[in-house]
Amino acid sequence: MADKTERLSVPITGRQVFWGACSFAGFLIVGWASIRAPAPAIFFADLGQSWSAAVVALDLAFLGFAAITFAVIESRRLRMRLPWIWIPLGMVLPAGSMFPLFLLLRERALLRAGSTS
C-alpha cells in the first residue's frame, strides 16, 4: 500500500505552476468581465448585431469545440480519470480557465505516467 502511495505522488513543477496561474487568471479576468455583461438573452442578441461580433463568436465556438475534443481524447489516451468531464466543464467554465486547467492536469498525468514506467 505504501509503495502505491509513493508512486502516485507527483512533484510540483514550474510548468504546473504556470498552467495553474493561467487558469486562475483566466477565471478571474473572464469572471470580472462577465459581471458587467447583460442578461443572457441580451448577451446572445448582441452577438447577432454585427458581422464582426458573429465572426468572433463563431471563431471562439469552433476553438472551444477543438479544445474540448482535444481534452477528451488526450484524457483518454493518458488514462486520466473522468475524461468526459471536460465536455460539461467546457460549457460552464470560461475557455481561458478551462483549457489551462486541463493542461495542468495533463502535465501531472504525464509526470505520473513517467514515474511509473
Among 72, 76, 97, residue whose Cα is nearest residue 85: 72
Cα-flanking dihedrals φ and ψ of residue 115, to 5°? -80, -20
Q: Is residue 4 part of a domain?
A: no
pTM for the model stands at 0.76
Q: Is residue 9 part of a domain?
A: no
Q: Is residue 3 part of a domain?
A: no
Q: Is residue 2 part of a domain?
A: no
pLDDT tens for 61-115 read 899 999 999 999 999 999 999 999 999 998 888 888 899 999 999 999 999 888 6
Q: Is residue 70 part of a domain?
A: yes
Domain that residue 75 falls in: 14-116
pLDDT at 6 exceeding the cut of 70: no
Domain count, the chain: 1
Q: Is residue 35 part of a domain?
A: yes
In sequence order, which residues have a C-beta less than 8 Å from that of residue 87 and are 6 or more positions away? 68, 72
